Structure 1
């Protein structure tokens, strides 16, 4: 029943407002009688109508409505009406609305104004001969009651607004965090795809070029290179399938059980480039230390991309890999001694160095790349042993 009435009130706010003002009018107009008699002060009905009508503007001009209802109540009291909660009802409603909207200073000012107007009126013209202390306490109670109740409602609304704002902020933060994670995952997959495609396609291109060069003079060697080219393309397809397969996995899918590539696969990488006529030397300084999975994968991908750049962008057949193990750091240097060549550039530019730098930074390290004073190009990555 209560829920039904509340829904009806929400759908018809003007009807509810009219009924509310009529109830106030009925309660206050009956108080416009001279104390001790049944004689009605008939102009009081008109005064009560004006007073209740001013309450229509209590939400737009609460301060003005408080002043008008107070003056009307003082006039009624001066005509002999008894000061009580029903006579003060318009003032109580106006003070309550003022408390919900105005500042504390405005509330105190109007509260003092109401007391200054009504208290002398009640003491001078109230004919019930109550002790002045009782009259003052009673009037103060009815003035302070709507202010205290309004302050409690205002504090409750402010609390609910704060809770709602925090909930909205939390929801927005969760959405932004989810978007950030999606972006990071897209970048990670794009980086993996770039490394796989760039490495295997560059290697396949080098093997095909070498085979074409040797086909007329050394057909047996060209045939061997073409056989290795088949293995290169097969490996490329396998890695592409594994990488793209990550996009098809649901969020709850378990991680792949296949181990991620690491520096233990350097001999296979060197052999693959050897089939493309790129000779690679490996030098290691310091005792070899086990790397964490993330650093191991980062180190392998940086070496792979650096060698791919050597095969694509330099006219040499030799590259050097130097691994220096320190107590807390692994330094990787991939260098060559050749001169750069300028192959056709893709419309979007290259992302090899950008990807290597991002990988190093994601593992807590850093990467430098540039020409060497003695000639050639070098890529140097400094990675922590573990993260």
Structure 2
């Protein structure tokens, strides 16, 4: 590009000088030399522009002399040449300053773009790390509930059962109360297992998404006493391997269902999974009070986490109020 501009500068100087010679001394061609001077500055910088300026003044003056121009004294052509050279030098200085400002601006834009890219990459890394830590903590709590608290409650239930049977052998009045305590402990064991199962449904294989969603809906129905129904047309889903796609979709469904039950007061929740036109769509619909307008505008922590999970797997995320009441959460993922 620089070689082409340099060649164009030389050609223009020669053509304008020839035209200046043929025009004679009646009309001035000084303004036409601005173009090669400007091209010289763009092509090679202010030094080359200065050289082209001197050449343009010399060619213009030489052309006038060759055309037979007569001057009353040498001061006149020297003055005209000096004025033309000063004008060209001002042009060179202005263009050089503008180019320097442009290059400085481009450099700052590149630096800022690189800094923003680094900040975005660091933010994504931190968000991914936070989600990974969250998943590990979920699994840890789930194992503690199942293997720790669950086993402890089981032992308590056995001890209480033995105590209740001894009281029954003695026909003690406290026998019904003892059996009631055992029943309460058994209920606590069942709730603990349901909670642990919900927390341990984290890392699943791509083909295990429908069974995991069905199991989660069953656990939700038993734990919260609501009608949580799983509907699908596909026994298996051709999800891309890796990146935890199935786990993220399961977590989005869990968050949406729990929001519907805890905050929306829903009595019926439908979790749908269907594959159409090479897009896998997960939809959670409830009959609760719906999403408040303020929450829909600003978005709570759960909504932002769901949206971020969808973004991490390349899916689109949308949440809206259902026309007949309730909330619709939809996550759509393109399939290979």
Report TM bin, short chain: 0.3 to 0.5
Larger radius of gyration: 1
Please report the TM-score for the alignment, with normalisation by the length of structure 1.
Answer: 0.41
TM-score normalised to the size of structure 2?
A: 0.46
